[in-house]
Amino acid sequence: MTGTSLTLQALPGIPDIEPGCDLAAELLRAAARAGAAFADGDVLVVAQKIVSKAEGRYLDLLQVRPSARAVELAARTGKDPRFVEAVLGESRAVIRAARNVLITRHRLGYVMANAGIDRSNIHHSGGADRVLLLPRDPDASARSLREAIAERTGARVAVIVSDSFGRPWRVGTVNVALGIAGLPGLLDLRGGKDRHGRTLETTQIALADAVAAAAGIAMGEAAESTPAVLVRGIHCSAPEGDGQALIRPEAEDLFQ
């Protein structure tokens, strides 16, 4: 992955995604419109939001009964108790709660705000107050898109399902990789040498997170957001990994 030139191309024009929709087909159509033919080694970065929508990962807050814990956390955070209950339902543990802040460990291990549950970008329909949960298993979602694209085009593209994360000591969000297929999540340099022969101190590079972050720039944000980006030019021979490998094990968490 070195001395390289990389290109990132947003794939605009993806329509509103409905539950059960053939997301791979929509992505192929978007690529065709953008004049991009998928090729072996390409990386397709897809926003979590459209994957969750295709998987119908909606929850109607009108159906949610907040627990006592949710009511208490809602008071502490200033959030809707039903929303907090939805977050707790998707979480293993609360990491931090404060005014406007609810950081949990998602059932899949991600430490993130609101267990990744999104209230924006959701239609209100039939009196429902729907929120969107993360995909059931973002690694499986990535694998399934990779397989569907390979079947239909013959191209072995890697797929990253990405979402935006805050950072405890830095302002603003960057995209990270929740699910990965066909790409190493991490490049392990442990024991490697620098160009002067010294053993490297930086040991592991979060390649898939960097690719997700890069794609986030091309996605844009807000009203004009494009939820899929094709990344070309990543060459690396490290073994493929999954999104779980990017999660620091709880036993190594110094900030619990």
Give every CB contact of residue 203 below 8 A, 6+ residues apart in sequence: 188, 189, 190
Round to whole Å and give the CA distance between 88 and 65: 12
Q: Which is nearer to a second copy, 23 or 144 (CB)?
A: 23
Instruction: Please say whether the beta carbons of 231 and 6 come within 8 A.
Output: yes
Q: Does 245 bind a second copy (CB under 8 A)?
A: yes
Q: Residues 96-135 vs a second copy: string with x where CB under 8 A?
A: x-x--x-x------xx------xxxxxx------------
DSSP bridge pairs for 160 = 45, 180
> Binding to a second copy (CB under 8 A): which residues in 37-96?
96
> Binding to a second copy (CB under 8 A): which residues in 10-29?
10, 12
Round to whole Å and give the CA distance between 199 and 190: 8
Q: Which is nearer to a second copy, 135 or 243 (CB)?
A: 243
Q: Closest approach of Cβ 219 to a second copy, in Å?
A: 8
Q: Does 172 bind a second copy (CB under 8 A)?
A: yes
Strands 228-232 and 58-60: unpaired
Instruction: Please say whether the beta carbons of 15 and 137 come within 8 A.
Output: no
Q: How does DSSP assign 201-212, residue by residue?
A: S--EE-HHHHHH
Q: Does 4 bind a second copy (CB under 8 A)?
A: yes
List the one residue from 33, 69, 152, 248 that touches a second copy (CB under 8 A). Answer: 248
Calculate the CA dihedral of residues 22, 28, 33, 38 and round it to 10 degrees. 170
Q: Does 151 bind a second copy (CB under 8 A)?
A: no
> Binding to a second copy (CB under 8 A): which residues in 206-235?
206-207, 209-211, 213-214, 216-226, 233-234
Q: Does 157 bind a second copy (CB under 8 A)?
A: no
> Binding to a second copy (CB under 8 A): which residues in 173-192?
173-176, 185-187, 189, 192
